[in-house]
Amino acid sequence: MTLRAYQQTAISAESPRDAEFRLFTQVTLALVEASRLDPKDLSGRVDALDWNRRLWSALALDCSDPGNQLPKELRAGIISLSIWVNKHTSEVIRGKEDIQDLIDLNRTIMQGLSARNGSAA
């Protein structure tokens, strides 16, 4: 079995929460790398910022679905965070805010996902 086939099988067998954790890890690592660049190097930072914004937008869209089984308060909180991420990202791009706040938020979410999974972050 090739490594690629093994990775595909592992990904398809993971729980939704594990998939969310993996995705947050990938996006957050991209943000960390972007944070090391000169803030004026927008071309080097925009991909990570856009990826993070799209992740949060997808979460908000999922939470707005009436069939979503998360508690209503949790769904509302995720939607509110998504709105904040969108606004904050725009401010980061304008050079008025720091990217670290986005990284910190993602890490907090990852800690919550990890605690529910029983795995270490």
C-alpha 56/C-alpha 52 separation (Å) is 6
pLDDT for 93: 93
The total of other beta-carbon atoms located within 10 Å of residue 82's CB is 20
Q: Is the pLDDT of residue 53 over 70?
A: yes
Q: Binning pLDDT at 50, 70 and 90, where does residue 58 land?
A: very high
pLDDT for 121: 39
pLDDT for 120: 44
C-alpha 15/C-alpha 116 separation (Å) is 12
pLDDT for 14: 87
Q: Cβ-count burial of 31 within 10 angstroms (0-12 exposed, 13-18 middle, 19+ buried)?
A: buried
C-alpha 121/C-alpha 22 separation (Å) is 11
